[in-house]
Amino acid sequence: MKRIAVFTSGGDAPGMNACIRAVVRGAIYHGLEVYGIRRGYSGMIAGDIFPMTSQSVSNIVQRGGTTLKSARSKEFMTPEGRKKAYENLMNAGIEGLVAIGGNGTFTGAEVFFNEYEIPTVGCPGTIDNDLYGTDYTIGFDTAVNTALEAIDKIRDTADSHDRVFFIEVMGRDSGYIAIQSGIGGGAEIVMVPETHTPLKKVVSTLKDGWTRSKSSSIVVVAEGDEEGHATDIAEKIKSQVADKLDIRVTTLGHIQRGGTPTAYDRILASRLGVGAVEGLIKGYKNVMAGIVNNEMVYTPFIDTIKKPKPIHDDLLRMVHILSL
């Protein structure tokens, strides 16, 4: 293998730049030529493929977002789109790919590999932390810290006004951001898609707190919770507690996707970027590089997407214990 290309795809995540840098410099260190592809699969289809040097990735390790830009490509879901992408890669002489992204990215990579067999190694880049095959994904730690900072601020005003706040955090199908920011932020209740929290339980927990003279409460809701968005949940329970509790809702949204990556994310991203290049050199294909128990492991894309990554029961149990 002489020439590889790197791209970022799907929702951006803080630390993606540190990963791009590690791929580029890791490849050059091992004597490979390295190209960048802008806007993920969309750029592959458009032929937006360009050579990168060590200088291309100077001064980006600390920056949020992705300098290669990102997209969710509908065209890549079609055989015609993938054919164009393959032809452009062949024209540019690309023999291997590093895909930085989440489950949508790896679903695309899996289909593409089965059709065209270009060796691809993935780096898990998503704030959701919902990929099997790695303890943590790039961007998750930063997103949790962003959410935590917001929860701390909301707690100040909640406490001043004796209010209950429902705070919605990201996590399309996953409650990792919710559970970690909820525990770190001292939430009374955390609602996640992995487990059902009935609304009557929410009401009774809030009422219990009120009878114990708790002046304010925080309920953290993952956006993918089966009871709906934080606004819907607050609306549904309002009438049952309105005489005693004053409710407000905050949706944190995309602020969780931006910002300077934490030290943890930069280091994780750097390890995974170098690990992906070294995986390609060793002949791995159609796998994601991940870190499990502090060791580099390579997991087939199909497992990273399909296998569940449950939230540890202890974490869910702790929310209850710590809210007393």
* Smallest separation (angstroms) from ligand F6P to the CB of 193: 11
Catalytic-residue membership of 128: yes
On whether 317 is known to bind a ligand per the annotation, the reply is no
Asked if 170 interacts with ligand F6P (CB under 6 A), we say yes
Asked if 305 interacts with ligand F6P (CB under 6 A), we say no
Q: CA neighbours within 13 Å on the CB side: how many for 110?
A: 17
Asked if 171 interacts with ligand F6P (CB under 6 A), we say yes
Overall size of the chain counted in residues? 324
Asked if 172 interacts with ligand F6P (CB under 6 A), we say yes
- Find the part of the chain contacting ligand F6P (CB under 6 A) among 24-32, 36-44, 168-176, 273-281: 168-176
Site for ligand F6P in 137-156 (CB under 6 A): none
On whether 105 is known to bind a ligand per the annotation, the reply is yes
C-alpha 72/C-alpha 301 separation (Å) is 18
Which residue in the list 128, 130, 141, 225 is annotated as catalytic? 128
| Sheet containing 3-8: order of strands | 49-52, 33-37, 3-8, 96-101, 120-124, 287-292, 295-300
On whether 240 is known to bind a ligand per the annotation, the reply is no
Asked if 126 interacts with ligand F6P (CB under 6 A), we say yes
C-alpha 298/C-alpha 280 separation (Å) is 11
Q: Which of 39, 118, 128, 206 binds ligand F6P (CB under 6 A)?
A: 128
Nearer to ligand F6P, 84 or 172 (CB): 172
On whether 186 is known to bind a ligand per the annotation, the reply is yes
On whether 256 is known to bind a ligand per the annotation, the reply is yes
Site for ligand F6P in 7-36 (CB under 6 A): 11
Which whole-number Å values give the CA distances from 87 to 120, 122, 195, in the listed order? 16, 21, 45
Catalytic residue positions, numbered: 128
Task: Please report, in range form, the residues annotated as the binding site for substrate.
Answer: 126-128, 163, 170-172, 223, 248, 254-257
**Binding footprint of ligand F6P on the chain (CB under 6 A):** 11, 102, 126-128, 170-172, 223, 257
